[in-house]
Amino acid sequence: MIDRVITSGTFSLDGGTWDVDNNVWLVGDAREVVVIDAAHDAATIAERVGGRTVKAIVCTHAHNDHINAAKPLADRTGAPIRLHPADQVLWEQQYGATASYEPLADGEKIEVGGIALEVVHTPGHAPGAVCLYAPDLGALFSGDTLFKGGPGATGRSYSSFDTIIDSIGERLLTLPPETVVHTGHGDSTTIGAEAPHLEEWITRGG
């Protein structure tokens, strides 16, 4: 029900560009999937989707490395792109007026293959950052909000360390400790593994 595709490309913001590897998550069954964070390579993602219907392309936030394959994949599949509207300014940096999306709302549930993905607004890394919680799978798709070892980066435009700490502490670390956290980059972790370190993150300031 959960599949990962790793794609490679670049992330650009505030005049800098960095090489990155992104986790693209596919959630669903043999008939239909939701693609979470269509990054870099629409053809590779489409190949993994195969003949299944793409119900939605969900963006956890609008940094270019998480959305730069969203429009090409949408053009291939006819699937809607979903994004929290608080990330409009970042969306425009990638697409201007050439692509549109359907807005996500906190608490909304996206159904796919008998699975419910609950949208959890977790600003901080970006104003419109969201996580997707699948209680039936015991899984959270955290984008760049929570990683193995700490919160996502907040040193660039439109980010806030205090806000991401509030988001993580109030909205994520309250989930069951056995919840597996599937991240936007790198290895997965669990809520239970990360929760004891919140005060440490606050002390070190990121």
> What is the mean predicted confidence (pLDDT) over 182-194?
98
DSSP secondary structure code for residue 135 in this structure? G
Please report the pLDDT score of residue 175 as a whole number: 98
Mean pLDDT of all residues belonging to the chain: 97
User: 206: pLDDT confidence band, cut at 50, 70 and 90?
Assistant: low
| Cα torsion angle, 120, 168, 183, 181, sign | negative
3-state SS class at 188: coil
pLDDT (tens digit per residue) in 51-91: 999 999 999 999 999 999 999 999 999 999 999 999 999 99
Please report the pLDDT score of residue 44 as a whole number: 98
> What is the mean predicted confidence (pLDDT) over 95-107?
97
Distances (CA, A) of 77 to 16, 63, 66, 148: 32, 22, 18, 32
